[in-house]
Amino acid sequence: MRLKVAINTFLSSRSSAVIYITSLLILVLLGWLDYLTGDYSLIIFYLIPVGLATWYTGKESGLIFSALSFFTRLLADAASISFELHASTMYYWNVFVEFVFLLIMSLLISVLKKNLTK
């Protein structure tokens, strides 16, 4: 419990720019890991930068990082050797659903923080 409070205190005292840079670095790392793993979806881990940006800088930042995560995922897949195997309608549908998932989670995190800080 102390670790959670210490992390929250540490991140709360940081500027928005630091949160953005940290989220971007995590996003780049996830994109690289997504590229390396190829066929496996790491969408659940994209919640880390989206959640971090949403919680500490606001709903708009979370929505922006949801879009950045979507483009990072597409870029990692396009750079993958097996991209031709994925170029089907179902692949694009799955990526779209993952994007909507990140958007919804961003909005939920925003509402959660708003309700917890009342």
Q: What is the residue-level pLDDT of the chain in tens, covering all 118 positions?
A: 788 888 888 888 889 999 999 999 999 999 999 988 877 888 999 999 999 999 999 999 999 999 999 999 888 888 876 656 656 788 888 889 999 999 999 999 999 999 998 7
| CA Rg value for the chain | 15
Nearest C-alpha neighbor of 104 from the set 57, 56, 70: 70
Running DSSP on this structure, what letter comes out for residue 88?
A: S
Q: What is the value of pTM for the model shown?
A: 0.87
